[in-house]
């Protein structure tokens, strides 16, 4: 991918967005495609999503995680001193390898929860970049996992939805309990 973006300034000049924590209806929603009328909204949203993701910190963020019903994701799997920011509009996985990889995944909408998830090792993702150009990326490694995780969000799918109901319920109960304790100030 060569549509490298300039990461937003870390001086607080970009307003951060509030990250939606599961369970929440927006996280279960199949998001609508970004259309021509969404240009201004998307342009405003992208730097704020990057800033919110870096601050968290995380390596990917999908629009529904900040309450926006739009097919838009931002990802950056690069190290802190060598950012690799990508914004993908209307991304879709158009090819996936038979070979799979298992990685431990987490999610900014499920703080402190992690699980091993198995997904195709290599994927081809088609998307539109910020300039409106149609692009394709062949991703492997962490980027492949991250792109699939974020595109899942646009279809209302969380990483725990790839687990057995037993494991998923265990994680969701723990999340709700931890969030309640946090809200109650640890009482
Ligand atoms: Ni996530």
Using the predicted structure, report yes or no on whether residue 2 has a pLDDT greater than 60.
Answer: no
> Per the residue annotation, which of 68, 92, 105, 150 is the catalytic one?
150
CA of 61 to the centre of ligand 1 (A): 6
Using the predicted structure, report yes or no on whether residue 8 has a pLDDT greater than 60.
Answer: no
Using the predicted structure, report yes or no on whether residue 128 has a pLDDT greater than 80.
Answer: yes
Is 150 considered catalytic here?
yes
The stretch 161-172 carries a mean pLDDT of 98
CA of 160 to the centre of ligand 1 (A): 10
The pLDDT value recorded for residue 159 is 98
* Residues 72-82 pLDDT 10s: 999 999 988 99
The stretch 94-113 carries a mean pLDDT of 98
CA of 149 to the centre of ligand 1 (A): 6
Range name among 8-22, 35-49, 108-122 with the lowest pLDDT average: 8-22
CA 141-24-144 angle, to 5 degrees, is: 10
* Residues 131-143 pLDDT 10s: 999 999 999 999 9
List the domains of the chain with CATH numbers: 25-183 (3.90.45.10)
Q: Would you say 175 and 22 are in contact if contact means Cβ atoms under 8 Å apart?
A: yes
| Predicted TM-score (pTM) of this structure | 0.92
CA of 55 to the centre of ligand 1 (A): 15
CA of 60 to the centre of ligand 1 (A): 7
What is the pLDDT confidence band of residue 101, given thresholds at 50, 70 and 90?
Answer: very high
CA of 49 to the centre of ligand 1 (A): 13
Residue 75 structure tokens: 């990802």
């Amino acid at each position: 991918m060569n549509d490298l973006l300039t990461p937003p300034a870390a001086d607080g000049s970009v307003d951060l967005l509030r990250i939606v924590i599961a369970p929440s209806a927006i996280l279960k929603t199949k998001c609508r495609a970004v259309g021509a009328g969404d240009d201004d909204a998307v342009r405003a949203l992208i730097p704020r999503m990057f800033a919110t993701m870096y601050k968290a910190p995380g390596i990917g963020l999908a629009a529904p995680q900040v309450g926006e019903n739009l097919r838009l994701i931002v990802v950056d799997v690069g190290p802190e001193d060598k950012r690799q920011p990508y914004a993908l509009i209307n991304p879709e996985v158009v090819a996936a390898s038979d070979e799979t990889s298992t990685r431990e995944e987490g999610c900014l909408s499920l703080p402190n929860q992690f699980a091993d998830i198995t997904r195709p090792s290599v994927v081809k993702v088609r998307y539109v970049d910020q300039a409106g150009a149609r692009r394709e990326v062949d991703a492997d490694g962490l980027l492949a996992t991250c792109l699939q995780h974020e595109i899942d969000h646009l279809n209302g799918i969380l990483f725990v939805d790839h687990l057995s109901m037993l494991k998923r319920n265990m994680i969701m109960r723990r999340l709700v309990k931890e969030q309640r304790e946090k809200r109650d100030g640890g009482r």
